[in-house]
Amino acid sequence: MQPIAGRPQIMLAHAVAVLLFGPTVALFVLGVVGTALTPLGIGVLLLLVVVPATRLLATGQRSMAQEILQRPIVQDYLGTQGLGPIARVQRWAKDPARWRDLLWELSSITVGFTLSVLSLALFLYPLWSIVWFGLWKGLPDVFDDPYGMHITTTGQAVATSAAGAVVGALVWWFTVQPIARWRFGLDAFLLGLSRQAVLARRVREVTTSRAQGADAAAAELRRIERDLHDGAQARLVALGMNLGLAAELIEKDPEAARELLVEARDNSGDALQDIRSVVRGIHPPVLADRGLADAIRAVAVDLPIDFELDLRPPAVSAPLESAIYFGVAECLANMGKHSRATSGWVSLVVHDDRIHIEVGDNGVGGADPAGSGLRGVAGRLAVFDGTMDVSSPTGGPTIVTMEVPCG
């Protein structure tokens, strides 16, 4: 048996579906009229309003059906970015998803609506049965003939009312979930992709994320190579030069040799510093020693910002841990560099087998998710089916949310 939402949720969904009956009829009629009138031009104008509104309605229904049936229902629409009005309508005409939206409207205002109303009626019947008793008490002449019976005594009325309420409640109780399955199953069938299309889409996603991951890893290696080349290696070469020259001068000009040696000592310290920072960039010692929570804490401690930290990381694989760490570290580094924030927060909690991470601050905002750093984070997370979302209006606050399955 497929899982299904609880009864209260189902009833709520039916109620919403019934309330949407009017708009759905209107949109369906306007959609059909617009399509018919397209050659006249007026139809195009109509469709430019109706089609997006239809998609909005369908999306709402999709998420409702998703809640009830507890399985993902997704749909791919053809993109229409950058198209003029005529081209846009032509694109819609070619898009099966749009036609299926229209078909769904038809099914929703007929079969779907009927099923929803039936379920709601069954739900209300026991109440009606009790109300009927009150009505019978008040107006026995009018309400004394339910179902062809003739009720004359209070005892009979109580029995009838109770029987109606109990039987009605039982019928509702046992039919509510099957009806919901039919109603929302039909919606899902019309509004969602077929299994095969879902799989194809998943393969596309995986391919993209794999490429992103490979890119991120390659970029990372290039960065490390460059850091070493321009940092520690160059410093060590300079150190050698100084020492070589000092060795030559030690007899002739001991004072100059001494200066060179002091410079060489400073150079060696700097080279070590460079190597340390590269190592930190590869795998931070704190992460290796103490795990994710303390590693994030260690980064936050170094910033002149008051942090509220709620870190409850689960046990995850080392690669995922590292991806999360660098994601958070990148956000915190940006915060330190650009945000001018005085306070910030990091939360990392597990909910429904997914890790939810939020990094925010009260700074000036304007963070660019297309910047190389954040893009790299998104690429790294994508490998683990994770997502990243950046909200950073000018004036702040900046909130970066990351989500990734526990793996």
Partner 1 sequence: MRVVIGEDHALLRDGLERILRAHDVEVVATADNAPSLVKALREHAPDIAIVDVRMPPTLTDEGLRVAIEARRERPAFPVLVLSQYVENLYARELLEDGAGGVGYLLKDRVSDVGAFVQAVHQVADGGTVLDPEVVRHLIARRPQGSRMDRLTDREREVLGLMAEGCSNAAIAASLFVTEKAISKHTNAIFSKLDLPVSADDNRRVLAVLAYLND
Binding site residues, partner 1, CB under 8 A: 226, 229-230, 233-245, 247-249, 267
Smallest gap from residue 229 Cβ to partner 1 (A): 6
Nearer to partner 1, 72 or 244 (CB): 244
Which among 31, 117, 17, 130 has a CA at the least distance from the CA of 65?
Answer: 17
How do beta strands 306-311 and 354-361 pair?
A: unpaired
Smallest gap from residue 241 Cβ to partner 1 (A): 4
Smallest gap from residue 280 Cβ to partner 1 (A): 22
Smallest gap from residue 284 Cβ to partner 1 (A): 26
Nearer to partner 1, 65 or 243 (CB): 243
- CA atoms of 260 and 254, how far apart (whole Å): 10
- CA atoms of 213 and 207, how far apart (whole Å): 10
Smallest gap from residue 355 Cβ to partner 1 (A): 37
Edge to edge, the sheet with strand 354-361 lists: 306-311, 343-351, 354-361, 398-405, 387-391
- CA atoms of 402 and 328, how far apart (whole Å): 9
Nearer to partner 1, 162 or 234 (CB): 234
Nearer to partner 1, 202 or 226 (CB): 226
Smallest gap from residue 251 Cβ to partner 1 (A): 13
Smallest gap from residue 219 Cβ to partner 1 (A): 14
Nearer to partner 1, 230 or 310 (CB): 230
Nearer to partner 1, 68 or 243 (CB): 243
- CA atoms of 166 and 136, how far apart (whole Å): 18
Smallest gap from residue 252 Cβ to partner 1 (A): 9
Smallest gap from residue 243 Cβ to partner 1 (A): 6
Nearer to partner 1, 137 or 265 (CB): 265
Nearer to partner 1, 171 or 238 (CB): 238
SS (H, E, C) the chain: CCCCCCHHHHHHHHHHHHHCHHHHHHHHHHHHHHHHHHHHCHHHHHHHHHHHHHHHHHHHHHHHHHHHHCCCCCCCCCCCCCCCHHHHHHHHHHCHHHHHHHHHHHHHHHHHHHHHHHHHHHHHHHHHHHHHHHHHHHCCCCCCCHHHCCCCCHHHHHHHHHHHHHHHHHHHHHHHHHHHHHHHHHHHHHHCCCHHHHHHHHHHHHHHHHHHHHHHHHHHHHHHHHHHHHHHHHHHHHHHHHHHHHHHHHHHCHHHHHHHHHHHHHHHHHHHHHHHHHHHHHCCHHHHHHCHHHHHHHHHHCCCCEEEEEECCCCCCHHHHHHHHHHHHHHHHHHHHHHCCCEEEEEEEEECCEEEEEEEECCCCCCCCCCHHHHHHHHHHHCCCCEEEEECCCCCCEEEEEEEECC
Nearer to partner 1, 210 or 222 (CB): 222
Smallest gap from residue 97 Cβ to partner 1 (A): 45
Nearer to partner 1, 62 or 235 (CB): 235
